[in-house]
Structure 1
Amino acid sequence: MEKEQDIQPSRDRRKTKRGPPVSNESTGKDSQFSPLYFPQKLWEMLESDQFRSVWWSNGGKCVAINEELFKEEVLGRAGPQWVFNTQRIESIIRQLNSYGFTKMQQDDQRSASLPEFLAEEGAVSAHSQEDPTLERHFKGHRDAVTSVDFSLNKKQLASGSMDSCLMIWSMKPQMRAYRFVGHKDAVMCVQFSPSGHLVASGSRDKTVRLWIPSLKGESTVFKAHTATVRSVSFSSDGQSIVTASDDKTVKVWTVHRQKFLFSLSQHINWVRCARFSPDGRLIVSSSDDKTVKLWDKTSRECIHSFCEHAGFVNHVDFHPSGTCIAAAGTDSTVKLWDVRMNRLLQHYQVHSSVVNSLSFHPSGNYLVTASNDSTLKILDLLEGRLLYTLHGHQGPATCVAFSRSGELFASGGSDEQVMVWKTNFDADYGDALKTQKSCSTVDGSHHTGSEMDSGIHHKKTKTQDSGRNHEQQEVEASLANTLEHIMGQLDVLTQTVSILEQRLTLTEDKLKECLENQQKIIQNKTN
């Protein structure tokens, strides 16, 4: 079995300590614990006399751990004495939780010289708050949900379904949802544009539609595929769309000109998914031909094919850093590759059935997956292990997606439900985002001038400068909001013009048909 390795993406914001190396080159020989799984390691430690920091308690019903001694005696080991591939006690606690252990407060000492080692109940509560929680669930679709996606501001959630409808859900409590009807068959995929002013959808009716997520729900139709459209995705600048289809092709379109640009056609079976890289230079696609292909958008050539999957590859996406890709398949596995070295980084087989969808957390530290085994699983990519298993859907979980900020993620299933979950487990990333936003509003200009001897005049000058800074910040914020509004209105205007052009063309065709019919009637009367 191939050993899993850690991803170290460039956007990693967490400071984690790595476990000691375990290769033969650095240690001379393998640790006796290296081939064992976590429960086996724990059992060996409990049955061994060489560890004083962990032992059976309460008549063999509990495992007692002296936390401080455990850090020194077990996690501090290196070389051939290595036990766990981590130096963090939090990782050990999470592993224990995942195997059904519950942290308890208890006065339990191995000897009079050992201090109390179990954490207080408050610490247990704090840890439990890190777990993902189900916030809301939406019911309104009449068939299996196929795709979900959040808008940029998290105020709306789009979902597609086998019932041929696109639905826009409001994240505000007690706000109604909107059902958009236009596709003539199942909606297989949906995605908001980066600005949030447009929604793209692909369908089994072979078309792609661009919607304005407003009350009217007007849309523009793109036609070029000759079979079911399985996937639709915007580029990061919102200027292009890439689609994948059962016609074995990947197609690229322009959004504002609404034109088909080119096709990529080296897959020999249905193409399930296609995505742009964050910088827009690359495209990745996955197919029922059991391959994942990497394309250069400019040259339109296939750079590399990844063939490690043993089944159809249902979903693929880029890591936020753009250096890695992840793919999910019918062989129940999730695989991650480095696109710079074209090598396999990590391999997960945590689901018991087909993996339908996956989504990277914006920090790049986590990956969430959805499977036919009705579960969602969250993987810790830094430590290369399963972090959480979430149950909620009654039947296959068909799709999953993080919000742009990572605070929420949504899932859809064959039970016709859309569920919204709160992340909770990566608060550091949320704090970093808030800090970044607050720093971006600080005025970086400096005002210089001669200092006044009078303290009153100095205070007055300082107040005036502060007032100017505040006014400048307000002007900049107002300008940014105005520009964003203008961009949104341009998107809407573009779509409106396109719709009017379509209606005008339709009217002209009808008028031409009427004139031709009238001409035929006149000819018949003459004869």
Structure 2
Amino acid sequence: MNQLYNLNFKLNEMQDDPTLFTTLKGHKDTITALSFHPGLKSIASSANDGVVSVWQLKQPRKVYRFMGHKGQVSDVQFSPNGLLIASFEGSSVSIKAHSAPVRSVQFSCDGQLLVSSSDDKSVKVWSVNDRKFQYGFQHTNWVRSAVFSQDVRLIASGGDDRAVIIWDCDSKKEAQRYNEHIGVVYKVQFSPDSTILGSCSHDKKLKLFDVRSKRVIQHYDAHADSVLDLKFHPSGQFAMTSGADSKVKVWDLRMGKLAYTLYGHNGQATTCAFSNHGDYFATGGSDSMILVWNTNWVCSGQESLDEKPKQVKSKPTQQSLTQGQQQSSQQKENVQQTNSQLPKQKETVLYSNADNSLHKKSEFNQSVQLQKEDVPAEVITQLDNISGQLELITRTLQALEQRVSNNEQQICRLNLALTRDFERSEQIQNQIYDLRPLEEQVQDQDEEENVNYIKFHRAANN
């Protein structure tokens, strides 16, 4: 069990794991989409409560709410310059876009065009300045997602017809079609250089297509339930998915494996988004919560939300320097000794309680770092292993309890369905019993009027 889910980490690897930055509360229904401001000033969110919210990420954290929609808001996005926000529901006051609910919306990289997808089976492109329709494409069923490529020469779309289609914006024709999914395609997304197209589906799969060679290059059994959203890291080296199994997963595309699994939502993890440079990411769920995370594993150094207090600089004395050097050398020896005793970790599993508290794993990190001089190192190592095993058992029990509750709900649904079927069968049997006397009377009448019936047909033939 320890080999599969080892929760011991190297101290030099702990700083590379994502950490929860803040939790945003205010929506009253499922979060449907998230979008970071290009300058990391704020984050926009849309939800099924019909509200579009813009949350300031720096202090003082204010929230602005837009109540212009009359129904559920399915998507929201900042324009590339951060001056506009596009959001769509079934019908829009600004742009009378589609004849059915709009599922997705995205700006082109230059901010001049807008692409939308809808349940009217169409993908439409609009000019932002005059808000006029430019051209469109047609699916055979509802379209859940449509996105521009980086150079605005291609559009990818996917939907309920299970097809992922790449459209040529110049010729206005279909360029490539992929029929790899066996379920509804919820999201399509181009990589930052537009050489890879990703798609996620109701069939629990994540698939990556090479746009140039027109073939599948990576395939992942991503989640235990539907994969609802997909985003590429700006570096193009990682992808993030959110699923109906309440998990958010980060995939290392270079190594072709799962890098992180994050727990924080009570219910489906419906959407996710990276910031412009990828130093932060956010997730939203059916619990109406928005979790903002520090990425940590890749940092551009161009984004920061930490507001550290100013420190007064003072010149250190020679005695303090000597004491500091001795303490640092002792700490290095302790760290090296602990690192040599801790095994390597293949996959990091992170947990958050969604209440803006400290990461559970950070508590374990602190317990690893704390050492007393009067306690042997072997005893400390054994205690740390026991602590890690106890945490593992606790989390495993929590997961089993969740599965048991899910199974109980499914059993209740099956029992209800069986009860309804049994009642229907009884009603049908009663109807059959009630009809038997009528059938006997009809047979008696047929025997009495048999001659007339035959005569009638003969007369008709004559």
TM-score scaled by length of structure 1: 0.56
Provide the C-alpha distance between the structure 2 equivalents of 1:418 and 1:221, rounded to a whole number of angstroms. Answer: 27
Max radius of gyration: which structure? Answer: 2
Q: CA deviation at 1:308?
A: 0.4
Which residue of 2 is the match for residue 409 of structure 1? 281
Q: CA deviation at 1:206?
A: 2.5
2:17 to 131, 147, 160: 131
Provide the C-alpha distance between the structure 1 equivalents of 2:207 and 2:65, rounded to a whole number of angstroms. Answer: 36
2:161 to 268, 274, 289: 289
| 1:241 to 2:114 alignment | yes
Q: CA deviation at 1:172?
A: 1.1
Provide the C-alpha distance between the structure 2 equivalents of 1:152 and 1:145, rounded to a whole number of angstroms. Answer: 20
Which residue of 1 is the match for residue 32 of structure 2? 146
Runs ≥4 in structure 1, deviation > 4 angstroms?
none
Deviations 1:9-55 (A, max 9, x none): xxxxxxxxxxxxxxxxxxxxxxxxxxxxxx9xxxxxxxxxxxxxxxx
Deviations 1:396-417 (A, max 9, x none): 0000010111000111100001
1:323 to 158, 177, 195: 195
Q: CA deviation at 1:298?
A: 1.4
Which residue of 1 is the match for residue 215 of structure 2? 343
Q: CA deviation at 1:258?
A: 1.2
Q: CA deviation at 1:175?
A: 2.0
The amino acid of 2:179's aligned partner reads: C
The amino acid of 1:327's aligned partner reads: S
Provide the C-alpha distance between the structure 1 equivalents of 2:97 and 2:134, rounded to a whole number of angstroms. Answer: 10
The amino acid of 2:173's aligned partner reads: E
| 1:172 to 2:172 alignment | no
Deviations 1:106-127 (A, max 9, x none): xxxxxxxxxxxxxxxxxx2231
| 1:268 to 2:140 alignment | yes
Deviations 1:437-459 (A, max 9, x none): xxxxxxxxxxxxxxxxxxxxxxx
Identity, in percent, stands at 44
Provide the C-alpha distance between the structure 1 equivalents of 2:18 and 2:7, rounded to a whole number of angstroms. Answer: 18
Provide the C-alpha distance between the structure 1 equivalents of 2:276 and 2:151, rounded to a whole number of angstroms. Answer: 16
Which residue of 2 is the match for residue 100 of structure 1? 6
2:233 to 348, 353, 361: 361
2:91 to 189, 206, 213: 206
Deviations 1:495-514 (A, max 9, x none): xxxxxxxxxxxxxxxxxxxx
Q: CA deviation at 1:202?
A: 1.2
Which residue of 2 is the match for residue 437 of structure 1? none
Provide the C-alpha distance between the structure 1 equivalents of 2:140 and 2:16, rounded to a whole number of angstroms. Answer: 44
After TM superposition, list the pairs within 5 Å mapping 1:82-97 onto structure 2: none
Which residue of 1 is the match for residue 105 of structure 2? 232
Q: Larger RCO: Structure 1 or Structure 2 (Cα < 8 Å, ≥ 6 residues apart)?
A: 2
Unaligned runs of 5+ in 1: 1-38, 40-61, 63-95, 104-123, 208-219, 435-527
Q: CA RMSD in A?
A: 1.5
Which residue of 1 is the match for residue 313 of structure 2? none
Which residue of 2 is the match for residue 395 of structure 1? 267
Q: CA deviation at 1:162?
A: 0.2
Q: CA deviation at 1:224?
A: 2.6
Equivalent position SS for 1:304: strand
Provide the C-alpha distance between the structure 1 equivalents of 2:44 and 2:287, rounded to a whole number of angstroms. Answer: 17
Equivalent position SS for 1:426: coil
The amino acid of 1:392's aligned partner reads: G
The amino acid of 2:37's aligned partner reads: S
The amino acid of 1:366's aligned partner reads: F
Deviations 1:353-399 (A, max 9, x none): 00000100000000000000001000000000000000000000000
Which residue of 2 is the match for residue 449 of structure 1? none
The amino acid of 2:135's aligned partner reads: F
Q: CA deviation at 1:350?
A: 2.7
Unaligned runs of 5+ in 2: 304-462
Which residue of 1 is the match for residue 70 of structure 2? 184
Q: CA deviation at 1:101?
A: 4.7
Equivalent position SS for 1:298: coil
Q: CA deviation at 1:102?
A: 1.6
> Between Structure 1 and Structure 2, how many residues are aligned?
303
Provide the C-alpha distance between the structure 2 equivalents of 1:363 and 1:389, rounded to a whole number of angstroms. Answer: 19
Provide the C-alpha distance between the structure 2 equivalents of 1:173 and 1:367, rounded to a whole number of angstroms. Answer: 30
